Amino acid sequence: MAPFRIRTFGDPVLRRRAEEVTEIDGRVAHLAEEMHATLKEAHGLGLAAPQVGVGRRLFVYEIGESGPRTMINPVIDEADGEWEHEEGCLSVPGLYFRINRPKHVHIKGLDLDGNEVSVEADELEATLYQHELDHLDGRLLLELLDADQRKTAMRELRRRSEGEAGPGGQPPS
């Protein structure tokens, strides 16, 4: 079983700006390790700390042949171009939206050894970084939707939460 339950839409931790990691110590390494296990089990590309209820600025990811990676206190200092991608989020399970973002980014951050990492990325990888950085700023992809997409998404999410309660609502037990 994955060490963490992934927080989903409606959980307030997803709306808060996460705080800088001030010290990269064993606890951060342990957190990253458990996040990687959670990501793997969820078959996702990336997972940000707020998605497991931790308000710290780090995310884990695994894309291509790179193996599991961790990015701490990331900053995007360059973004250009345009790229549209069918994007999903582990915190909004099962829903995908066409979202336009800059095609190319330059992201900087720290790895688990405290070394500076500087990556130039395009397309899917660039989208992943922007998506995870949004999580650290308390933003879900729902906020990037146009009015029509948003209406459809909210209807679907409402339908699901009503579905979970069962018809007529479930008595508390």
Residue owning tokens 């458990």: 34
CA distance 2 to 134: 24
Q: Between 138 and 167, how does the x/- string for binding to Ni ion read (CB under 5 A)?
A: ------------------------------
Tally of CB atoms within 10 A around 132: 24
- 132 catalytic residue (yes or no): yes
Backbone angles phi, psi at 151, to 5 degrees: -60, -45
> If we measure between CA atoms, which residue out of 80, 88, 84 comes closest to residue 120?
80
Alpha helix stretches (DSSP H) within the chain: 26-42, 123-136, 147-165
* Beta carbon nearer to Ni ion, 24 or 99: 99
Smallest distance from the beta carbon of 68 to Ni ion, in angstroms?
A: 17
The stretch near Ni ion (CB under 5 A) out of 7-15, 73-81, 84-92, 118-126 is 84-92
Identity of the residue, 109 or 127, whose beta carbon is nearer to Ni ion in the bound complex: 127
User: Which residue type sits at 94?
Assistant: G
Write the interaction track for Ni ion spanning residues 89-118; mark x where CB under 5 A is met and - where it is not. Answer: x-----------------------------
- Asked if 109 contacts 71 with a C-beta cutoff of 8 angstroms, the reply is yes
168 CB burial (10 A radius; 0-12, 13-18, 19+): exposed
Check residue 39 for interaction with Ni ion (CB under 5 A).
no
Task: Tell me which stretch binds Ni ion (CB under 5 A): 35-43, 57-65, 82-90, 161-169.
Answer: 82-90
Query: Measuring CA to CA, which residue among 78, 71, 68, 66 is closest to residue 102?
Result: 78
Q: Please pick, among 82, 116, 120, 132, the residue that the annotation labels catalytic.
A: 132
Per CB under 5 A, the segment of 14-22, 56-64, 83-91, 95-103 that binds Ni ion is 83-91
Q: Count the site residues for Ni ion by CB under 5 A.
A: 1
Residues annotated as part of the active site:
132
Binding region for Ni ion (CB under 5 A): 89
